[in-house]
Chains A and B, each alone.
Chain A
Amino acid sequence: MANSDKLIQFRHRYFSGRLVGEVLSKSWIDSAIPFAALIVVLVTMAVLVPGMVNIAYMADLSRQLAEFGLVALALTIVIMSGGIDLSVGSTFALCVLASLVGMNVLGLPVAVSLALALGAGLLCGLLNGVLIGYLRLRAFITTLVTLVIYRALYDIIFPRLASAIVGNTPDSPAWDYLGFGAFYGLPVSFIAFVVIAVAIHITLSRLRPGWRLRAVGGARKSAYNAGIDVKRTVCLAYVTSGLLTGTAAFLFSARLGSTGADTGIGMEIAVLTAVVLGGVSLGGGRGSVGNAIVGAVLVLILTNGLIRMSTPGSVNQLVLGLILILAVLFDAKWVKNRAKILSKVYVSPTYLALPSRAERHQAQFAPNDRLGESELIGLGAVEGPEDVVLDAADHLYTGTRHGTIVRFFAPDYTRSEVFARIGGHPLGLAFARNGDLLACVGGMGVYRVDPQGTVSRVTDETNRSWLSVIDDSRLRLPDDLDIARDGRIFFSEATIRYELSDWVTDALEGRGNGRLICHDPRTGQTRTVLRGLIFPNGVTMCRDGQSLLFAETWACRISRYWFDGPNKGQREIFIDNLQGYPDNINRGSNGTYWVALLGLRTATFDLAMRKPAFRRRMAKRIASDEWLFPNVNRGCVVRLSETGEVLDVLWDLAGRNHPSVTSTCEHKGYLYLGGVSNNRIGRVKLCDADSAWTSSQEYWGQV
C-alpha cells in the first residue's frame, strides 16, 4: 500500500466526520444549543456582575423564576399546539387583580382568592380558545387584540380599586408563607413551580392529552385524519395557558402584595423570547418543559443582570428584541435546514481496499446458464423473497416485503397461503430443532413463528455500546441467522447506521457498521459477539457444531468464527477476495456450502472504495439517485467446499429470472433461489446431488 493510501486510510478512519451526522440525527440536539447558551451566559454573568452568586439573590431569583417560568410554560403549551398567546401579559395583570381583590379588598380566604385568580385566567384562556380553536381565527392577531381588551379591562378596574388594594393588608399566615416562606431553604413558590413543571412534563411526554397536543401542533391535518378532536385540543391548550398564567399571577401577588399600572406590560415579549430561545419551535409540535425552563432562566438572568448593571429600560427592550429576532431567525432556519444538512453529512465514507480480483477465479467464474431453466414458483405473488427455507414436509417458506411469511405447498408449489403476518420485511429464515421458524425481520428484530403460525418476539435489542452516539441497542437491520446445536441463536445485523430501505447506502461507507449478535434462550439475554463487521450478511453453522461462517458483503469475504470448543473466540478468513458481494450462506449436500452472490464487483466501484473523499463529495453534491452504487443487479451462486475452495458456479445467463440471487436452499436434490428485489422464487434440479438430502436432517439428525 502506498504511503498516500495509508494517509487516506488514517484520515478517514479516525477523522471521518461520522459523529457530526450522528450527533445531528439525535433529537436532543434541539435542546443542546440553548443549554450550552445558558451555561455560557451563567458563567459570563457570574464573572461580569458582582454579587450574582449569592444565596439571598438566588432565593429571590428562584421566586421570580417560579412566576416567569409558569407563564413560559403556559406559552410553551400554546406554541406546541401550533398557536401563540400574546395576551399572557394582560391575562397575568387581570389575574393579579383578581387575587388581590380577593385577599386585600374582600378579605376572602386564600383558597377562594386562588379560585378567583384561576377563574380569571380560565375565562381569558377560554375566550382565546373558543376564538382560535372553534372559530379558527388567526392565533397571532386574535391574541394581539385580546391583549388590548384585557389590558383595557385592567386599566378600567385598577384605578377604581387601587387605594383599597394598597390600603389593606390581609392577615393570613398562609398567604405570607406562600409569598415569603421557605421549605428546607427552598422558597415555597419555587417548590410549587417545580411540582407543576414535573406534572406538565409527564403530561406532555407520557400521557395521551400531551401526545394529542403535540400531534395537533406537529401536523394539524394528520391529527384530524387520525381522529383527534383538533378544535377541542387547541381550545384546551389556551385554557391551560390561562390557568397557568393565573397560578403565576397568584404567586406574584403573594410575593408583592400589591400591583401597579404597568404590571404585565411587555411580558409577552420577554416570555416569547424565553420560550423561543429555549428551543420551543414556533411551527408547533416541537418543544418541551425543559426547553421552556432553560429559556426562562436565560432571559431572567439576562434581564436581572442588565438591571444590576443599572442600564435604562430601553436597553433592556433593545436587547430582548434583538435576542428574540435572532432566536426566531435561528429557529426558522434550523427547522427548515436540519434535515438537509443531515442528509448531506450523514454518509461518511472510509477507505476500503479490496485486493484486485484474483486471476485464479476467472476461469471458475466463467458464465454458464445452469440457472436459466429454473422452474418458477410464485411468480408475481411474492415480492422480495430475501430468504427461502423448506420444512420437513417439503413446504416452502419465504418472507415478503408486505410483512408476511408465505408458505407454498408441496409438491408442486402452486398453492400458497399467508403463513404468518409479522409487520416487517422478513429477511433470514431458519428452522429450529422443534420445528419453529425463526426470522430476522428488518427494522424489528428476531421473531419466532410456531408451526400453527403464531408469531412471538425473540429479541429486539442487544447491549448498548457505551461510546456510540446513535443508539445501537435497538436492532435496525438484522439480516440472517442460524441456530447452534445448544439452541443459541446467532444472527448478523448488517448495519447500525441505516434502515432497511437505505441498505445500499451503507456500501458507500465501507466501514464496519455491522455486528454479529447472539441470543441465548436459556438466559433470555442478547449480547453482541463481534463488532465492526463490514455489512455482515449470511450466517450459517459449520458441521463441527463449534463454529459458524459469516459473510461480509462489501468486504467480499467469508470468515469463520468459533463460538465454542478449544478455539473459542477465534476468527479466521474462510475465503476472501470473492468475485462478488456475498449474501446468504447455506449448507449443501456432501459437506459443501452454497453462497449467493447478489452482485459482482466492478473495477470502478473497487476504485471508488479506495477514494473516500470522492464518495463523500458525491454524497454531498448530487442527488442520491445519481450516486455510484455497487453492482447489485447481476450475481450468481457459488458452491464452496468444506475448506473454502470454489467448486462450482451457477449463472442465469440471460438474467431473466435470477439476475441477482440473495439466498439459496438445497433440498432433496433441488436448489431453491430467492432474491430480495425479485418477484419470484426459482427451483433448479441439481444433477449430482443426493435426492434425499435435506439441511435440517443433516444438522439436527432424524427429527
Chain B
Amino acid sequence: MSAAEQQTGARGPTIRERLLQSQEGIVFLLAVVAFLAFSILLPSFLSSGNLLVLVRSVSILGILALGMALVVIARGIDVSMIAVMVVSVSWAFVITRAGYPFELALLIGASFAMLAGIMIGTLIAFGEVPPIFATLAAGSVIYGTGRTFFFTLEMQNVPPDTEWFRLIGQGNVFGIPVTVVAFALLCVVVQLVLRRTRFGWMTYAMGNNPNTARVSGLPTRPMIVAQYASTALIAYVAGLILASSAAAINARLFNSTMIYDILLVVVLGGIGLNGGHGSVRNVILGTVFVGILLNGMTIMNIDYTIQNLVKGVVLLLAIVVDSLVNPRDEQTSQQGDL
C-alpha cells in the first residue's frame, strides 16, 4: 500500500481490509490460524522447548531468505545459495584441520563465497545469461569443484578447540538463542540497506523496470554483481551458524530441498518474483509461517517425503497466487524471459 494511495483515499483502510486484501495479510492470518491449530491439536507444540527449537531452526532459513530476497527484489533469483554455503563452510573447516588458524580459514571461506557470488553476478550482468540458468549451472559447478578439489567427506565437523564458535549456534544472550539474535541483527541491517541507502533504492528501481533503470543511468551491471556477492556472503554466514548449531556441516544439503524452502519463504512472504517490491517484513512473515508449518509437520511425525510433497504443493499454490496478484507486465517482460 503506497503512500500516494493512502493520501488519495478519504480514509485509510481498516485493519480487516488490510488483512484480507493483501497477500501479506492472508499469510499472516494463515500463520496465526496454523499456530492456534497446532497449539490446540498438538500438546507438545506450545512447550517452551519446542518453540525454542522452532525459532532456532527457522532463523537459519530466515537468514538465507534475506539473501534470496535481495536478489529477488532486483528481479533476479539465486538457486546456487546452498552450494555456496556448503562448499565455502566445508572448505574453511578443511583448511583449519590442515593446520591454518581458524580465523584465517573463516576469512578464506568468506573470500571463496564472495568470489563465487562475484562470478555468478558477472555471468548474469556482463554475460547476459538469465539469472536462474546462471545460478542453476553455477550451483552444479561450485558443488562439483568443492567435492573434487576441496574435500571428499560429505560431513565436515567443526574443528576442535573453537569453543567461541560453538556459542553462536548454541549459546544464549539474555535467554534468547544467539541464532535468533543474529537473524534479528541481519534483518535490521538489510532493512536499513534497502530503505536508507542508495544501493537499496537502486535495487528496487532495477526490480521495478530494469530497462528504465539502465537508461536512467543506474550502474545496473556493477549493482547486479554486488547483489549476488552479498547474497553469497549471507549464505556463508547462514552456513556458519548452521554448522555451529549442528557442530558439523553436511554437503548433501545441496541435494536436499532446502533451496525450495528458501523460495517458499520468499514467495509466501509476499515478495513477488517480478521484483520491485517486498521488504524484510515479508521475509520475517514468510519465515514464521514456514517455520510453524515445518515444525507442526515434524511433530505430527509426517514422513519426510510427504513433507516435501506438501511444501512443493504449497509453493506451487503460492506461485499461482503470486502470478494472479502480480500479473506479468507484457510491456516490460522480454522475449526469452523465463
Interface residues of A (CB under 8 A from B): 82-84, 131, 135-142, 144-146, 148-149, 151-153, 155-156, 219-221, 265, 269, 282-284, 312, 314-322, 324-325, 328-329, 332-333, 336
For chain B, residues 136 to 171, give those with C-beta under 8 angstroms from any C-beta of chain A: 136-141, 143-148
Chain B residues lying within 8 Å of A221, measured Cβ to Cβ, are 330
The docked-state distance in angstroms from the alpha carbon of A353 to that of B134 is 54
Chain B nearest Cβ from A234, distance in angstroms? 13
Chain A nearest Cβ from B219, distance in angstroms? 20
Q: Decide if A325 touches B129 in the complex (CB within 8 Å).
A: yes
B79, B139, B323, B335: the one contacting A138 at CB < 8 Å is: B323
Q: Decide if B338 touches A336 in the complex (CB within 8 Å).
A: no
Q: Decide if B128 touches A142 in the complex (CB within 8 Å).
A: no
Q: Decide if B132 touches A152 in the complex (CB within 8 Å).
A: no
B257 an interface residue at 8 Å Cβ cutoff?
yes
Chain B nearest Cβ from A274, distance in angstroms? 13
Chain A nearest Cβ from B301, distance in angstroms? 15
Q: Given the known A-B contacts A135-B320, A152-B306, A221-B330, are A318 and B148 also in contact in the complex, defined by CB atoms under 8 Å?
A: yes
The docked-state distance in angstroms from the alpha carbon of A155 to that of B303 is 11
The docked-state distance in angstroms from the alpha carbon of A312 to that of B152 is 10
Q: Decide if B147 touches A314 in the complex (CB within 8 Å).
A: yes
Q: Given the known A-B contacts A84-B338, A319-B144, are A282 and B316 also in contact in the complex, defined by CB atoms under 8 Å?
A: no
Chain A residues lying within 8 Å of B146, measured Cβ to Cβ, are 314
For chain B, residues 286 to 338, give those with C-beta under 8 angstroms from any C-beta of chain A: 303, 305-306, 308-309, 311-313, 315-316, 319-320, 323-324, 327-328, 330, 335-336, 338
- 11 A–B contacts, CB within 8 A, in A order: A82-B336, A135-B324, A137-B323, A141-B77, A141-B132, A142-B316, A156-B305, A282-B133, A284-B335, A312-B147, A317-B144
B273 an interface residue at 8 Å Cβ cutoff?
yes
Chain A nearest Cβ from B116, distance in angstroms? 12
Chain A nearest Cβ from B240, distance in angstroms? 23
B130 an interface residue at 8 Å Cβ cutoff?
yes
Q: Decide if B144 touches A321 in the complex (CB within 8 Å).
A: yes
Chain A nearest Cβ from B275, distance in angstroms? 12
B218 an interface residue at 8 Å Cβ cutoff?
no
A82, A156, A282, A284: the one contacting B309 at CB < 8 Å is: A156
Q: Given the known A-B contacts A282-B133, A328-B137, are A156 and B306 also in contact in the complex, defined by CB atoms under 8 Å?
A: yes
- Nearest CB in chain B to that of A320: its residue: B140
A156, A317, A329: the one contacting B140 at CB < 8 Å is: A317
B54 an interface residue at 8 Å Cβ cutoff?
no
Chain B residues lying within 8 Å of A145, measured Cβ to Cβ, are 260, 312, 315-316, 319
Chain A residues lying within 8 Å of B306, measured Cβ to Cβ, are 152, 156
Q: Decide if B144 touches A282 in the complex (CB within 8 Å).
A: no
Indicate with 1 or 0, residue by residue over B249-261, a CB within 8 angstroms of chain A CB atoms: 0000001010010
The docked-state distance in angstroms from the alpha carbon of A689 to that of B255 is 93
The docked-state distance in angstroms from the alpha carbon of A151 to that of B134 is 23
Chain B residues lying within 8 Å of A84, measured Cβ to Cβ, are 338
Q: Decide if A155 touches B308 in the complex (CB within 8 Å).
A: yes
The docked-state distance in angstroms from the alpha carbon of A220 to that of B263 is 28
Q: Decide if A325 touches B305 in the complex (CB within 8 Å).
A: no
Q: Decide if B129 touches A328 in the complex (CB within 8 Å).
A: yes
Q: Decide if B145 touches A318 in the complex (CB within 8 Å).
A: yes
B130, B136, B308, B315: the one contacting A282 at CB < 8 Å is: B130
Q: Decide if A220 touches B335 in the complex (CB within 8 Å).
A: yes
The docked-state distance in angstroms from the alpha carbon of A220 to that of B338 is 13
B213 an interface residue at 8 Å Cβ cutoff?
no
Q: Decide if B148 touches A312 in the complex (CB within 8 Å).
A: yes
The docked-state distance in angstroms from the alpha carbon of A138 to that of B133 is 13
- Nearest CB in chain B to that of A285: its residue: B335
